[in-house]
A = this chain, B = another copy of it.
């Protein structure tokens, strides 16, 4: 069964020719994983063909994993571009000189991956790009006050030589990061920019729908004055947070313990969190050593240091941590906005009674395909029963699974709609299935 009509201009996504290698290796017995360092997300993402470990702390994103990560990138792009951020791409290799200039070469120490090039110059595989972008702005032809603020970001690979990489993509040596850098005239403007990015970050995490907390952060190796961290509460979290029961405000315990909330006096409680985002108001910490300046508009024209901010979201970590929080021990669950495919259609086994409903199967594929374009996958494998297909679809965690079961050949045919994220099963007429999917479509919006 190869229904192609609704994918005329697109590649059709059918499981019969998709690359999703389910693992037959029992949990925790793979040669590559260290069970002590295992997490639900690492285990399930690997076992169900979404991600594959390549080496210590390095991973292949297989087709479904790359789809999920790309959707997350698109979601982030949308929110950042709404506030006037522009996307660029900086090289992964940065000169060791930049890191000496900022003083971070020794500060970061052995986590910094570096090599000597064939001309004997030290080069760094960048874990972050403050030095790189500040140095670029410093060597540009002068920018004017009227050109500010500048808000540039990228999404790409970052490198860190972890002593003990763990939990799959959650603590990896190579990972995908969205990093944004802003440049303002003065510290007041920089604070305004900081607040607008904060709102964008809240929008991003709210659209994702995984519970999160924002706490005062530790500026750590990045430096600066104000900093906030975004965390997904989870037992495997590496950070300990103190969150106020009353106002929801909080801080990282690294800032020191308190019994009461500084903002409202409420009682605080401890929780573990996976850090998924971090924002920093940097001031001139980087613009100063790199002498990154703009020209004032007013006469006499003078050169003034940029006031900077930097803002990171761990894209691959968010993907894995979302799954970590939402999944069961045996089945993946995704935020609806970034599931590899929003809808899966499970067609009847070849030669089964239900295979007689071919016309209906065809109609549904076309209708769903028109609504979700390339965001639907069809499990068209002839040799498998719908029961086996459903088990795989549940493991993979498609938010909406449309199944052609026994009642699809009734005179008033019914299909099964499994809404995995709300753990709901409905038996519905085809038109009713479409109504439910239309609501889902409206909610997930314009992502791929």
Residues of A within 8 A of B (CB): 9-11, 17-19, 21-25, 32, 52, 54-56, 58-63, 65-66, 69, 81-82, 84, 86-95, 110, 113-115, 117-119, 121, 123, 125, 132, 136, 139-143, 150, 152, 156-157, 159, 161, 163, 173-174, 446
Query: A119: which B residues are within 8 A, CB to CB?
Result: 56
> Closest residue of chain B to A23, judged by CB?
B141
- Our pick among B32, B89, B446 for the contact of A9 (Cβ within 8 Å) is B446
Tell me whether B136 and A86 are in contact (CB under 8 A).
no
Known: A11-B81, A17-B84, A114-B115. A92 touches B157 (CB 8 A): yes
Tell me whether B11 and A84 are in contact (CB under 8 A).
yes
Tell me whether A118 and B24 are in contact (CB under 8 A).
no
Query: A139: which B residues are within 8 A, CB to CB?
Result: 32
Query: A55: which B residues are within 8 A, CB to CB?
Result: 91, 93-95, 123
Please give me the 9 A-B residue pairs with the lowest Cβ-Cβ distance, nearest first. A11-B81, A58-B91, A61-B89, A115-B115, A63-B86, A24-B141, A21-B140, A55-B95, A91-B174
Query: A82: which B residues are within 8 A, CB to CB?
Result: 11
The distance in angstroms between the C-alpha atoms of A335 and B32, with both chains bound, is 46
Tell me whether B90 and A140 are in contact (CB under 8 A).
no
Query: A21: which B residues are within 8 A, CB to CB?
Result: 140-141, 143
Tell me whether A86 and B140 are in contact (CB under 8 A).
no
Copies in the complex: 2
Query: A24: which B residues are within 8 A, CB to CB?
Result: 141-142
Query: A150: which B residues are within 8 A, CB to CB?
Result: 19
Query: A110: which B residues are within 8 A, CB to CB?
Result: 118
Tell me whether A88 and B115 are in contact (CB under 8 A).
no
Chain A to chain B contacts (Cβ below 8 Å), 17 pairs: A10-B81, A19-B86, A52-B136, A54-B132, A55-B93, A56-B119, A58-B91, A58-B93, A62-B88, A65-B88, A91-B157, A92-B174, A93-B174, A110-B118, A115-B125, A118-B161, A156-B157
Query: A142: which B residues are within 8 A, CB to CB?
Result: 24
> Closest residue of chain B to A20, judged by CB?
B86
Tell me whether A60 and B117 are in contact (CB under 8 A).
no
Tell me whether B19 and A152 are in contact (CB under 8 A).
yes
Query: A65: which B residues are within 8 A, CB to CB?
Result: 88-89
Query: A159: which B residues are within 8 A, CB to CB?
Result: 92-93
> Closest residue of chain B to A383, judged by CB?
B146
Q: With A56-B121, A60-B132, A93-B174 given, can you name 5 additional A-B contacts, CB distance below 8 Å?
A: A18-B86, A23-B140, A24-B142, A92-B174, A93-B125
CB distance from A206 to the nearest CB of B (A): 18
- Our pick among B87, B115, B174 for the contact of A113 (Cβ within 8 Å) is B115
Query: A161: which B residues are within 8 A, CB to CB?
Result: 117-118
The distance in angstroms between the C-alpha atoms of A21 and B136, with both chains bound, is 11
CB distance from A369 to the nearest CB of B (A): 15
The distance in angstroms between the C-alpha atoms of A141 and B330, with both chains bound, is 19
The distance in angstroms between the C-alpha atoms of A11 and B153, with both chains bound, is 15
- Our pick among B25, B61, B163 for the contact of A88 (Cβ within 8 Å) is B61
Tell me whether B91 and A54 are in contact (CB under 8 A).
yes
CB distance from A163 to the nearest CB of B (A): 6
The distance in angstroms between the C-alpha atoms of A62 and B87, with both chains bound, is 8
Query: A11: which B residues are within 8 A, CB to CB?
Result: 81-82, 84
Query: A163: which B residues are within 8 A, CB to CB?
Result: 118
> Closest residue of chain B to A30, judged by CB?
B139
The distance in angstroms between the C-alpha atoms of A81 and B14, with both chains bound, is 12
Query: A52: which B residues are within 8 A, CB to CB?
Result: 136, 140
> Closest residue of chain B to A63, judged by CB?
B86
CB distance from A445 to the nearest CB of B (A): 9
The distance in angstroms between the C-alpha atoms of A61 and B159, with both chains bound, is 20
CB distance from A189 to the nearest CB of B (A): 14
The distance in angstroms between the C-alpha atoms of A94 and B157, with both chains bound, is 14
